[in-house]
Structures are given as structure tokens and as C-alpha cells.
Amino acid sequence: MSERWARAFLTAYRFAGAAAYPLIGPYVAWRTSMGKEDRNRRRERYGIAGRERPDGPVIWIHAASVGETLAVIPLVKSILDYGVNIVLTTGTVTSAQVADERLGDRIIHQYVPLDLKPAVSRFLDHWQPDLAIIAESEIWPMTILELGARRVPQVLVNGRLSDRSFKSWKKRANIAEALFENLAHVVAQSDVDGERFLSLGARPVTVSGNLKVDTTPPPADEKVLSALRRQIGARPTWAAISTHDGEEVVAAEVHAMLHRRHRGLLTIIVPRHPDRAEGLAAQISGMGLKLVRRSKGDKITADTDILLGDTIGEMGLYLRLTEIAFVGRSLTSEGGQNPLEPAMLETAVLAGRNVQNFREAYQRLLDSGGAKLVRDRDMLAGAVNFLLTNEAARHEMMAAGAATVDEMRGALAHTLRSLEPYIQPLVVKSRLQGANGR
């Protein structure tokens, strides 16, 4: 595909809509059919604003779901300190709840519009952002093209490209280049991500490190934590967190393999998607294990085998109940989940080998001894058994993980430096308008 043809294709796409572009068709279908959404705010998906635009400059920041939202919260707070208005969009109800809990009315929250011209245009007509900051891998052609047509600077922060996404874009290299040239700056998570963005035509590209490292540990309600610790007592524990289909059963099988060797063993399973809890509870109970569900308020008793953490926003609670955590989407699924939260809470990290989406974080943890990868259920059982048996080795691994996270910090400062040329003019404009208003 020639560069000239690619540009013509993208121009046509701006007016033809999502059906003309195969890379985002599945995404639009997913967004349109999302079952779990705030029905009272569904109009926001079509770009119909739920709030008035404030006076003065506005920065639009977008973070797709909970992980991305948590990652950008320190960045949002730093920008708010400059006195500039922020409209924060997210794609899920859970991420909206996180934004409300952590930022409150300091920002204006909206659900991100569908990547269709009418919705995006309606959104931009209302909010008229002076700068757009997009987190991680949220690369949606219509939004990028519409912002580009309006000459709104766009900066991708904490940018990453998974192996699959990179291969997909490489097949359409000319389209990628014609699209990515609309980005004023890409601030990538790692050297690998930076090289990938450069090869696809993004300019300029800098590397900041992972913003998720500069977040605070996930919180926990101290009263609830104390109550659960009293129920558990001195029992040995381990957790399987952010698990995907198949990994919960693996964790239950590991428990069955180890509970006679470690008397009183309690296994904590925290599925990535708590809406699967009903089926998981039936499946695990069918294995002859006694299970209690956090969402039901069930008490942990002496004969409880499994605590099913089927709640949202309590990862900090579950991680504080153990010193060993297997991080999911890595054994029966691909890509991995974020190992930084358990590491920063001084938890020994275990994972499967499919951790491509967090390659650099895992590499750093592996190099320091803060994490270990396992290839299957039996190897996971062996690793959990070793850590439960060897307190000194477990504590050494826990300390190594926490130290590694501390060494990796600094992404926020790097990102703010990259954003400074775009934010400072807005700060000046805001102050001048404030002075004229007085």
C-alpha cells in the first residue's frame, strides 16, 4: 500500500465511519454492545456531554479502564496543580468509580465517545480541548483524525504496543504512518515500545518508564483488613490474582495438592472479572473444596479452603492477606497482568510465561529475584510449596520486588517534562484569563 493511497484511505475513513476500517470494527462492536454500563449516562457514548464546558483551557485525558486510570491519576493530579481544567474520559463503569474515588470533583468525568465521526465530532464540538493526552494503547483512528483536523496537539503517554498490535500495524505500515503523524509526541513505556512507535512513523518518541510504577499501592479498609486477619489467624496463605478462565481451577488444584502438606492452607482467588464468580464458585465447590465469597460477606472459618475475592476495588485488601501472589492472564491466557502492585506491597510474585504486555516489568523483577515464572500447574504448586516452606527465601523475594519497584520510579517526572511544552502555554493562558476576569 503506497503512502498516497494510505492517506486517501484515512481521509475516506473520516467520512465513511468504522465500517471502512477493519482494525477497529470489533472494537466498535464491543463498545456498542457493552452490557455493564451506566444507563443514565449512555448518551455520553455518543458524544452528548453530561456537563457544561468550564471557562478557560481544557485538557482532555483518556484512560480506557481501571489499570490505565490508576496509572494516570498521579499525572492528572500534577496537571491539576497548574490550575488547568481536565476532562477525564474512561471506558468502563469501574474506571469511572475509581476516578470518582481518587479525584472527585477536581475533574470532569465523561464516558469516552464511540470512535465514530458523529460521536467524536459532537464530543469535540462541546469540550473544545486545547490538548489531548491519551494513555497506553488507546489508538482509535477516528478520534486521532478528528483531533488532527482541528489541530489539537495529541500526546500518547505511557505508550505501549503489544506484540499482536505491533504485527497488525506493521501489515498496514503506510496507514499507521499516516495516522501516527497526527501525534505531537509519544512518551513510551520502554525502549522496545519506543522503537516500535518509531518504526510505525511516530515522531518524536521519548521513553519515560511505566507510569504504573509511580502510583501508590492499592488501598485497603483497615477495619475490614483487621477483621479478615482475625478470621484467618496464623494459617498459611497464598493468592492467585487477576486470574482469567482456567487459572482459577489451576489455583484450586494447587490448593488440593498442597493443603495436606501445609495444614490450614487458605487459597485466595481473585478473578479479573468478578461477574464470573457464580460459575467459579460452583466449579470449585464441585471439586470438594469449601469456598466462601467476599461479595456475600461470608466468614472465613477453620475449614474454609478458598476465599473467592469476587469484589471490585479491593485488590489492596487481598494482597495484604498474603505474602505470595500468582499474577494471572499468564498461564492459560496471554499478555499477563500488572505485577507491580503486588511487588510494591512486598509480595513474592509468581506468574506464567505469557507476560508479553508487561515484559520490561517482569524482566526487572526476574533479574532482581523479585519474581519467578512457572510453565504449568505442577511448577506453580512447587513454587508455592517452596515459598511457604522457606521463610527466609520468601522474605528475600518480597524485599527484592519492593526494591525493584523503587528503582523503577521516575516515569511521572519524565512524562511531565515531555508534556511541559504543551501544558505551559495553557497555564499562561489560564492565568491571563483569570487576571482579566478580575
118 vs 123: CA distance, rounded Å? 9
pLDDT confidence of residue 414:
98
pLDDT confidence of residue 279:
98
How far is CA 233 from its chain centroid? Answer: 33
Nearest to 142 by CA among 114, 161, 167: 114
Is residue 242 within 8 Å of 272, Cβ to Cβ?
yes
CA atoms within a 13 Å half-sphere pointing along the CA-CB vector of 72: 30
Amino acid identity, residue 419? L
For the question of residue 222 being annotated catalytic, the response is no
Question: If one looks up domain 222-405 in CATH, what number appears?
Answer: 3.40.50.2000
Nearest to 60 by CA among 140, 141, 135, 136: 135
The reply to whether 222-405 shares the fold of 36-214+410-427 is yes
Bond before 236 cis per omega within 30 degrees: no
Q: pLDDT 10s per residue in the chain (438 long)?
A: 566 656 665 665 665 544 444 444 434 434 443 445 688 899 999 999 989 999 999 999 999 999 999 999 999 999 999 999 999 999 999 899 999 999 999 999 999 999 999 999 999 999 999 999 999 988 899 999 999 999 999 999 999 999 999 999 999 999 999 999 999 999 999 999 999 999 999 999 999 999 999 999 999 999 999 999 999 999 999 999 999 999 999 999 999 999 999 999 999 999 999 999 999 999 999 999 999 999 999 999 999 999 999 999 899 999 999 999 999 999 998 899 999 999 999 999 999 999 999 999 999 999 999 999 999 999 999 999 999 999 999 999 999 999 999 999 999 999 999 999 999 999 999 888 876 665
Q: In what order do the strands lie in the sheet with 237-243?
A: 291-293, 306-308, 266-271, 237-243, 324-327, 348-351, 371-373
Is residue 127 within 8 Å of 119, Cβ to Cβ?
no
Nearest to 289 by CA among 249, 256, 247: 256
Burial of 301 (0-12, 13-18, 19+ CB in 10 A): exposed
159 vs 83: CA distance, rounded Å? 25
Looking at 146-234, which runs of residues are DSSP E strands?
A: 154-159, 185-188, 205-207
- Give the Cβ contact number of residue 1 at 10 Å: 12
Helix 277-285, helix 247-258: angle, nearest 10: 30
Helix 173-180, helix 3-16: angle, nearest 10: 70
337 CB contacts (<8 Å, ≥6 apart)?
A: 241, 242, 272, 327, 328, 329, 330, 358
Q: Please, which residues bridge with residue 159 across strands?
A: 188
Domain chopping of the chain, boundaries: 36-214+410-427, 222-405
Catalytic residue among 3, 37, 52, 68: 68
Q: Which CATH class is domain 36-214+410-427?
A: alpha beta
